[in-house]
Amino acid sequence: METFGGSKQEVGGLTLPSPGLLSPELDLKSPCFALPCQSALSHMDVQGYKRVRWRVWLCYLGAVLSLGLLLVLFKWRPRWGVLARCQPCPLHMADIVLLRDDFGEQCVLEVLTEEIEEEGLDSVAGEGNEYEWRDTVQLHKEEKLLLRYYVFQGIRYVWMARKGAFCKVSALNDHWTCAELHRMQQGLSAMEQSSRRKVYGQNLIDVPVKSYLQLLFEEVLNPFYMFQICSIILWMSDRYYYYAACVFIISLISIAISLYEIRKQSNTLRKMAQLIVPVTVRRNTGEEESVSSLELVPGDCILIPSEGLLLPCDAALLVGECMVNESMLTGESIPVIKTPLPGGGERYSADAQRRHTLFCGTQAIQAKGNYPGGRGALAVVVRTGFFTAKGDLISSILYPQPINFRFYKDAIKFLLFLGLLALGGTIYSIVMLNRSNTPVMQLLIRSLDIVTIIVPPALPAAITTGTIYAQRRLKKQGIFCISPPRINVSGKVSLFCFDKTGTLTEEGLDVWGVMEATGGSHFEELVPDPHLLPPGFMLSSLACCHSVALLGGQLLGDPLELKMIESTGWELEEPEGEDERGHAEFGGRRVLAVMRPPPQELLPQDVSMSQAVAIIQRFPFSSALQRMSVVTVGPGGQGATAFLKGAPEMVASHCLKESVPAQFSTTLRNFASEGFRVLALAYKPLDERTDLNSISRDEVEREMRFLGLLVMKNLVKPESPEVISTLRQARLRTVMATGDNILTAVNVARGCGMVASNERVIFVHASPPTGHSPAVLKFHLGEGGTQAAVSPDEIDVISQGLYQSGVTYHLAVNGKSFSALCDFFPEYLSKVLMRATVYARMAPDQKTQLVTELQKLNYRVGMCGDGANDCGALRAADVGVSLSEAEASVASPFTSKTDNISCVPLLIREGRCSLVTCFSLFKYMALYSLIQFASVLILYTIKTNLGDLQFLLFDLVLVTLLAIVMGKGGPSKELHPQRPPASLLALPVIMSLLLHTLLLVVSQIGALLITYSQSWFVPLNSTVTGAANLPNMENTSVFAVSGFQYIFMAIIVTKGHPYKKPLYTNVLFLVLLLVFSATMFWLVLFPVGIIQDILQLYEITDMNYKLLLIALAALNFFTCYLLEVLIDNGMVECCRTLRGHRESKKQYKRLDALLAESPSWPPLDQPLSSPQCTVIGFS
């Protein structure tokens, strides 16, 4: 594509303008600008255009002369409208931009301008960035500063002169560090806030709700309705008044319902998206001011009251703690504790610092931990409007990603094929009508009528009925869907990923025991009941190292931590009122919570009572860090101690080596291999002179002393093995992605049936390069390199050939190895993905990456999780199922109210049923068009046609009603190993349609020939054409046979086994078939005079002839039915055998065949080096 003087902006590699623009260039090497701009824009192509006055007036004239058709064309093809009215220009001069998004969709946007006051701009981009910001907003500086921007999908893109590009306005604050956010506690001045508001816009997630008039114009200008309007005009001119009137009324009703539903959905979404609440803001003068949340801008310091707040923006928590309900975003019903953001110099990221970020749309239930001079908590606004987490989710609903599904693509291609067929029919009808000296106007009308027959305008609506019925059935089963097209996609899922905790296993855990470290080379004996522990650091760590909070006297928090506290018998107290400022019992320190031991009378006789402990600082658990820590003090503020809890390997890495028992790895491996959930605990005494309220996490969590292990039993849900067995029998791959220990994950995989008892698990270890060694990949049978449980003979058997010896194996990978594989061993990654079943210690972003990598192998990936840490993976998957009590969660396309994975096979069965129903409906609507196409062409040949009410009977009564109820049949109870086809252009579908069409045409011609052969046959009046010479014998014979064809083809294309229940279970469909069949028998055998007159049928008294027509229709039915059975049961396979074997188009199938022929893979205990890295390269 040609560009003009820097008029094009491609993101990913920015095309910069030539130097010499009116504003000086920014330093492109500046990290605070280069990084945000690149991340703030996706791969969109933006071109600049400027209006040309004479071209605009010329387009107006063309629109008037074409009666508005030119404007309709420009609406369908926006690029043509821009090229007609404008000329290319550099982006910085453009007043129109033509944007092509990531999915190839084009959009025309107006470039807007905003006058900015020079005063008050000093801090818009943060401290020390005044020069960069002025260049950012200043394009033309004559007398005023101008901000140039456009808005795309709710997001504002501003012109950055030194970038030579339009960048998301969020780029201006993407570089903020945690330390800079802490310095914003003093707040903004009124002028600074006003200036920022002009740059960032209002803090509003605005869902556009169009008026009924706008919606009407947009709906009518849809190609489907334009086609309908042209068809109605054509039918009226051909005197098909009844038919045209009925279609017109039905279209009006359809448009009215559609407009009502669209507006209703828009209003509902707008109410859900819009959030306007009063917020208290701190100004730089120290005063507090109540403002509307619409006025909030990044950098505002807001106060979270102690009673909580429905958050209108994304904000970083600086002072205090907040208990937040995030179920609206994640589907997770358990409130989470948010703690203050650490004040380090690292760059702030809302995703990386989730535990310190308050997200828009979530409910802060309570806030505590005073800020100076008041109660509650302090936070700084970091994102507003559509840039917030809620805005992103609303945007994904408003502007969903196109579904890359073959069925929908093939449907468009097939419509084009029907269009070509219509062209051929039009040419044939012109030739035949011309031979009969038909007037030109009549010839034109008759020829165009062919197009309206063969391209059924109701086809797009008809194929969605199966999905609508499936969605209703899912809702009755407690599965809610916010993306109906995903139902069909679920029918093609070939691999399902599952989270472990709360998904495959029970959410709650039971404490199995505590094993203390002696500080030497071994552990003490397992203590089954923490009540029996003597007072000390181990007991205190179990009681204090948590993020549990009190709300209304009830403990709220992670189920694991609740069980841990319950096992100690200690009680949680939270200071109230003025006690929050400094608890006298604990030396006047600010206290977050107090843990009190049980009374002496409740303790065993040989156990002495412990002292109360106050928690004064928390660093909450993070999936990425795999740990949490707290800072505590005893009575009088003495005995300051830090406690650490988390994944054993992570805790041990933060402890002094001499404090970790030598048996640590062996003990951990033994517990994990038995399926126990193991957490490690550590402690460290702190200097009491340290400012414990502002101490950093890094300082707290280094050089800890190892305390011991907390062992918990996590039981597999009773439904999990049965569901996994069902999926495996249906040849669906099952994969586990968990944040837990790899041996625990393998044990659970065996317990739920992902790994059978006779199957081997091979562990994959990949390490990144270091300064002295390259990246290494190794496969071995024992975790940690040990193979004690495997005999040398067994190793030899497996090494000789995993396939040749009949040994089935699964790979197990941890998060670190997965990252190393992706980064340094891409050539082995696909092979590992093909055989890996267990992915352990996976961070949330790694789960998302796993789903993406599996999709690259052409898998249709399903993901089932609890909706919290799995949000990214749930949204990235083709089919995401969140187990949540919420009726609908925007975290995933599907939300199940059941707390187990039994919803997964149900969803797949419904998806397959819906997909097969869509296939049946598509074939039926196509065959209906072809039957009518054949009837009309045959009758055109002999200078007649179907009557007005004959069309009406077939189209609006018989076919429409059958198509509506055809999809009511429910799914089969069994999950078949074979997935249904998704391609409409596959050989069986095309062969079926072509052969059926041939048989149907032969039957109609046969009916005509039988009529000609009768002794009483009287030819029609050849001086009149079309419907004007009705009734006649030829028309009546074709009407009779084609009427039966519409009915029996509905039976033939409605497939049941193995994806749907049998046809007879769809009672309404069966009743309609019987009623319509009886009606056709009546019309053919015993017609009433008045009905014959209305339908313009010829009165034939020969009963033998009538029975012959019915026999012909019956023969047609049986031959078509037999043909369909042959196609379904091997005819196509025979053709494929004759054609020869072809390699599958799906990459995972090709890889599977390759691995099946590679008995030496994976190479056991053989270090593999990455070709990308060498020791020299990293030394």
| Segment (H or E) for 150 | strand 145-152
Q: Please state the length of the chain.
A: 1179
- Among 238, 499, 870, 878, which one carries the catalytic annotation? 499
Phi-psi region of 867 (alpha: psi -120 to 50; beta: other; left: phi over 0): left
> Is-contact 541 612, C-beta < 8 A?
no
Q: What is the largest CA-CA distance in the chain?
A: 119
* Bridge partners, 51 (sequence order): 86
Residue 691 falls in the annotated catalytic set? no
What contacts 105, CB < 8 A, 6 or more positions away? none
CA distance 619 to 946: 79
Query: In degrees to the nearest 10, what's the CA dihedral of 971, 972, 978, 980?
Result: -30
Chain centroid offset of residue 734 CA: 19
CA distance 112 to 97: 11
Beta strands in 299-449 (DSSP E): 301-304, 309-310, 314-319, 321-325, 336-338, 357-358, 363-368, 377-383
| 880 three-state secondary structure | strand
What contacts 701, CB < 8 A, 6 or more positions away? 619, 627, 629, 642, 644, 654
* Bridge partners, 571 (sequence order): 596
Output the DSSP codes for 1008-1031.
HHHHHTSTT-----TTS-GGGG-S
And the tokens for 567? 């096992």
Beta strands in 41-110 (DSSP E): 45-51, 86-88, 96-100, 106-110
Tell me the angle at which helices 1033-1053 and 1067-1085 cross, rounded to the nearest 10 degrees: 160
Phi-psi region of 284 (alpha: psi -120 to 50; beta: other; left: phi over 0): alpha
Output the DSSP codes for 596-612.
EPPPGGGS-TT-PPPPP
Question: Within 13 Å, how many C-alpha atoms sit on residue 573's CB side?
Answer: 14
CA distance 743 to 763: 10
CA distance 641 to 681: 13
Phi first, then psi: give them for residue 114, nearest 5 degrees: -140, 130
Q: Which of 239, 438, 462 is nearest to 929 (CA)?
A: 462
Q: Which of 321, 313, 429 is nearest to 370 (CA)?
A: 321
And the tokens for 144? 């005023």
Instruction: Count CB atoms within 10 A of the CB of residue 804.
Output: 10
Whether residue 599 is preceded by a cis peptide bond, meaning omega within 30 degrees of 0, is no
And the tokens for 786? 């040990």
Active-site positions read 499
